[in-house]
Structure 1
Amino acid sequence: MKLAALAALCVAGLASLANGYPIQKADVVNCRNGPSTSSGIVRTYSKGTQVKIDCQAPGTNIFGNAIWDKTSDGCYVADYYVKTGSDGYVAKRCSAGGQGLIGDDYPYKHNCGGVDPWNYYKCQCTSFVAWRINKQLGVKFHNQYKGTNWGNANSWDNAARTTHVPVNAKPVRGCVAQSNAGRYGHVAWVAKVSGSSVTIEEYNYLGKERYSTRTVPKSTFNYIHIKA
């Protein structure tokens, strides 16, 4: 009898894992279109709902956990609310710069004064893109990357060429959009490529020290491929 009961428990446990991981710690949890609390809400899950995780991505830190789980419904839920049995990654990483990772997860958006860890002024376009490169590409980019001063946005294309980082007119998700227009130029993060258009994320363009997104013709920018 004891062996039979144990076998039944084992089968039940396997069935639970096959169905996904349960939502915990809140009666209702939001599932968003990106791994941040500023991303739009796609749907909600009730406590106890089993969710399947397709991939995981870094995002807004929720009570010490910065992992977000992309569920089989195509939206992101904070891993803090999902009982995976681990504080770390239990699934593959979501593709860097991919559609659905759009959202203002910039850590200094409420503290725009001073210089960031990459030696740029906080809440400027250069600081935001340096953050994206470090966070999503895992590249330790900074203002003196590869021994060259990258400086203002209008010098990023020349700095890239000097350090043999590819610069071309062919955007891909997760590359840097760069323009020499204006006094200081502009850089942005390519979040999506669709036909002859690109969707970019940026800071300090549509509003002073503010996050925004735009969809523009590919020809608007040069494209720097930090991680070719």
Structure 2
Amino acid sequence: MKLATFVALCLIGLASLTEGYKIYKATTVNCRSDPNTSSKVVRTYNTNDNISLTCQTSGENVKGNTLWDKTTNGCYISDYYLHTGSSGYVAKKCSGGSTGGGSTGKIPGPIKNDYPYPGQCDGVDPWNYFKCQCTSFVAWRINSRLGVKFHNHYKGPNWGNANTWDNAARSTGVPINSNPVPGCVAQTNSGSAGHVAWVAKVSGNQVTIEEYNWTRHKYSTRTVPKSTFNYIHIKV
């Protein structure tokens, strides 16, 4: 009886070690060094491969899903392609926050005016925008907090005035939708040149944004209905 109990416990332990989740929705899926589609491909999985996870984290939005799964091979796949039976976490959160694109755990970061050119509104910034404009502030945040080398011609097209950012995103495959998450870009075509802002917080149907030049050449924050903007998911 004791031997049978011991064997049963061993079998249960073995099952927990080998349990995994199946790849689906694609024939092959890339497993990357960081949780975003621009990172290095470490290996490739095939449909119905059995994948075991070490942890999960947030990362680039893939078809509406910002969750990424770190496999026992040490690389990340979008949770969109893994049949876990849940839209949320089924494993512990990876320590240190999202590492996608080389960020340093600053997504979305503190709500404060950390723009490097306050009161220095003449000339062009390193991302080829006029200083103290909304586009310059958001370009700074994308670079400093997302770790993405964003600029006026990111991935080819001209990301010029704020009212061109939605079309530039669509033309380059950058997700744009009505679903805000902290660390994405709020964008509207309203006004003569549109407006962009940094999403700092989402609460129900409200979104808190940080922005420049809503008041001329000044930093400010607002909480508004999330329907006010489109949302560009350059990384999250």
Pairwise same-fold verdict (TM > 0.5): yes
Amino acid of the structure 1 residue aligned with 2:108: G
Amino acid of the structure 1 residue aligned with 2:187: Q
List alignment gaps of at least 5 residues for structure 1. 1-90
Q: 1:97 aligns with which of 104, 108, 116?
A: 108
- Alpha-carbon separation, structure 1, partners of 2:216 and 2:201: 24
What's the counterpart of residue 115 of structure 1? 124
What does residue range 39-50 of structure 1 map to in structure 2 within 5 Å?
none
Q: Please say if residues 106 and 146 of structure 2, whose CA atoms lie closer than 8 Å, have aligned partners that are also in contact.
A: no
- Tell me whether 1:146 sits opposite 2:155 in the alignment: yes
Aligned length: 135
Q: TM-score, normalised by structure 2?
A: 0.56
Q: 1:128 aligns with which of 110, 113, 137?
A: 137
What does residue range 46-61 of structure 1 map to in structure 2 within 5 Å?
none
Amino acid of the structure 1 residue aligned with 2:217: E
- Alpha-carbon separation, structure 1, partners of 2:195 and 2:141: 15
- Alpha-carbon separation, structure 2, partners of 1:120 and 1:113: 11
Deviation string, structure 1 residues 93-117 (Cα, Å, up to 9, x no partner): 444114xx10000001121110000
List alignment gaps of at least 5 residues for structure 2. 1-94, 97-103
Q: 2:218 aligns with which of 201, 207, 210?
A: 210
Q: 1:197 aligns with which of 196, 203, 206?
A: 206
- Offset, 1:145: 0.2
- Alpha-carbon separation, structure 2, partners of 1:117 and 1:196: 35
- Alpha-carbon separation, structure 2, partners of 1:152 and 1:141: 14
- Tell me whether 1:226 sits opposite 2:217 in the alignment: no
Provide the aligned C-alpha RMSD in A. 1.3
What's the counterpart of residue 170 of structure 2? 161
State the SS of the aligned residue for 2:155. Answer: helix
Deviation string, structure 1 residues 114-156 (Cα, Å, up to 9, x no partner): 0000000000000000000000000000000001111100010
What's the counterpart of residue 48 of structure 1? none
What's the counterpart of residue 15 of structure 1? none
- Runs of 4+ with deviation above 6 angstroms: none
Task: State the percentage of identical aligned residues.
Answer: 72
Amino acid of the structure 2 residue aligned with 1:96: I
